[in-house]
Amino acid sequence: MAESPKPVALVTGANRGIGFEVSRQLGAKGFRVIMTSRDDVKGQKAARTLAGEGLDVVFYQLDVLRLDDNKVANDLKLFIDSQFGRLDVLINNAGVFLDPSRARGGSPSVFDAKLSLIRQTMDINLYGPLVLCQIAMPHMRRQHHGRIVNVSSGMGQMSEMGSGYPGYRLSKVSLNALTKIVAAEVDNDFHETDILVNAVCPGWVQTEMGGEGATIPVAQGADPIVWLATLPKGSGRDKNLVSRIGGEDRLNGLFIRGRKVIPW
Ligand SMILES: NC(=O)c1ccc[n+]([C@@H]2O[C@H](COP(=O)([O-])OP(=O)(O)OC[C@H]3O[C@@H](n4cnc5c(N)ncnc54)[C@H](OP(=O)(O)O)[C@@H]3O)[C@@H](O)[C@H]2O)c1
């Protein structure tokens, strides 16, 4: 199949919450959006909703937990190659918060943490995104262009690290490290390429994960993710833009909240 004339974005966990809203906003900006979801029925329904709004979306069933299986990763690669021939944007959004909480009658303490839950959280929140970066990068390198946004959390900020919820915290601090590693590797090619890799804390967003009391509407939580994903060519080195958002040098390998740089 010929290369898609439109830019193509892949969003994980696109069936609800922030991933659904990011898909909607990217679709409205003219992207063909590959909406992935681990659940076939929920994913199809979400894609139908956005298609009904006139957006160019395609559903693909993907459980990011299963990306350690070469067949799952290869099938996804083949799907992207054969259906689109390009990948411009990767949004690593799918995530879980599996640590027990007092509100749910459990203990969030690191001393009571179950390794199996921490491992599962790492598989979904960290290793899935890592494999997806590996799948996306050959396209981005070939195109000399690409945007990767890893949806992280303030709970993964080393500078603000607090107690409890070790699975979620460890997974997000590691996702931040992954962001820096991938950004540093593409930075070596930065003169030839226009690939930007950043992490976002969306804030406390009104989704199922955000729960009661969350203050930020989903559209606002999605905004910095979509902003980073759609930064125009060359903006990674736009000194005015970088200084306006509180950066020092480049808009690559940064941690962003509300379109501003925050400390790791
Ligand atoms: N909401 C907040 O306040 C907040 C704050 C900071 C960071 N974040 C981050 O924002 C991202 C999106 O969260 P959200 O608030 O939109 O949460 P959400 O409403 O709970 O949605 C999470 C999404 O991830 C998907 N998912 C979970 N495990 C998966 C797997 N193994 N494979 C594929 N998809 C999987 C879920 O699919 P199912 O429907 O099948 O479960 C769902 O689509 C997460 O990375 C989260 O850590 C959220």
- The CATH number of residue 90's host domain is 3.40.50.720
Q: What is the DSSP secondary-structure string of 47-69?
A: HHHHHHTT--EEEEE--GGGTTS
The answer to whether position 2 is within a domain reads no
Question: 200 vs 22, 30, 75, 197, 246, CA distance in Å?
Answer: 13, 22, 28, 10, 14
**Structural domain harbouring 168:** 8-261
- Amino acid at the residue 204: W
Measured from CB, residues less than 6 Å from any atom of ligand 1 are 12-13, 15-19, 38-39, 42, 63-65, 93-96, 124, 151, 153, 201-202, 204-205, 207-210, 214
The answer to whether position 1 is within a domain reads no
> In this predicted structure, what is the pLDDT of residue 192?
60
The answer to whether position 72 is within a domain reads yes
The answer to whether position 120 is within a domain reads yes
Q: Any idea what the Cα angle at residue 69 is, between residues 65 and 74, rounded to 5°?
A: 110
Residue 15 to residue 36: CA distance in whole angstroms:
7
pLDDT above 90: residue 78: yes
The answer to whether position 212 is within a domain reads yes
The DSSP output letter for 124 is I
Strands 57-61 and 89-92: unpaired
Give the count of domains, the chain. 1
Identify the band that residue 1 occupies on the pLDDT scale cut at 50, 70 and 90: low
How confident is the model over 210-235, as a mean pLDDT? 96
The answer to whether position 257 is within a domain reads yes
pLDDT digits (tens, 9 = 90+) for 96-154: 999 999 988 899 999 999 999 999 999 999 999 999 999 999 999 999 999 999 999 99
Residue 181 to residue 255: CA distance in whole angstroms:
13
Identify the band that residue 191 occupies on the pLDDT scale cut at 50, 70 and 90: low
The answer to whether position 71 is within a domain reads yes
Q: Using a pLDDT cut of 70, give the percent of the chain over it.
A: 98
pTM: predicted TM-score of the whole model, two decimal places: 0.97
Assigned token pair, 111: 């001393």
User: Is residue 168 annotated as part of the catalytic site, yes or no?
Assistant: yes
Under a CB-based contact definition with an 8 Å cutoff, are residues 129 and 175 in contact?
Answer: yes
| Burial of 170: CB neighbours in 10 Å, binned 0-12, 13-18, 19+ | buried
Residue 22 to residue 20: CA distance in whole angstroms:
6
Under a CB-based contact definition with an 8 Å cutoff, are residues 51 and 27 in contact?
Answer: no
Q: Choosing from 23, 127, 171, 172, which is the catalytic residue?
A: 172
How confident is the model over 82-88, as a mean pLDDT? 97
